Amino acid sequence: MVGRIYHVGLTVSDLDRSVAFYRDILGLAFQGEIFMEGEETDKMFRRANCKARVAYLNGSKA
């Protein structure tokens, strides 16, 4: 039996389209967005000069 899922991270090719799908179709609530760059981001993604755009959605009431 699977219990509650608390966190899922996905890499997508189109963040705006993906947010619209999860928000409008699946009913998740958009919580906000951040932009990441710098040494820690480079380490996380194992790429030099990496920039990441991250969206947070909450599905606890979906």
What is the Cα–Cα distance from 22 to 58, expressed in whole angstroms?
A: 10
| pLDDT score, position 2 | 77
The pLDDT confidence band at residue 5, using thresholds 50, 70 and 90, is: confident
Q: Quote the mean pLDDT of the chain.
A: 92
Amino acid 55 reads A
Q: What average pLDDT does range 21-34 have in this prediction? A: 96
pLDDT of 46 over the 90 cut: yes
Look at the chain and report how many structural domains it folds into.
1
In a domain, 46, yes or no: yes
In a domain, 47, yes or no: yes
| Helices marked H in the chain | 15-20, 39-45
pLDDT of 13 over the 60 cut: yes
pTM passes above 0.85 = no
Range of the domain at 52: 15-58
In a domain, 7, yes or no: no
In a domain, 40, yes or no: yes
In a domain, 6, yes or no: no
In a domain, 38, yes or no: yes
Q: Which structure tokens are listed for 54?
A: 């991250």
In a domain, 9, yes or no: no
User: Percent of the chain scored above 70 by pLDDT?
Assistant: 97
In a domain, 10, yes or no: no
Best CA proximity match to 26, nearest among 36, 37, 16, 18: 18
What is the Cα–Cα distance from 29 to 15, expressed in whole angstroms?
A: 15
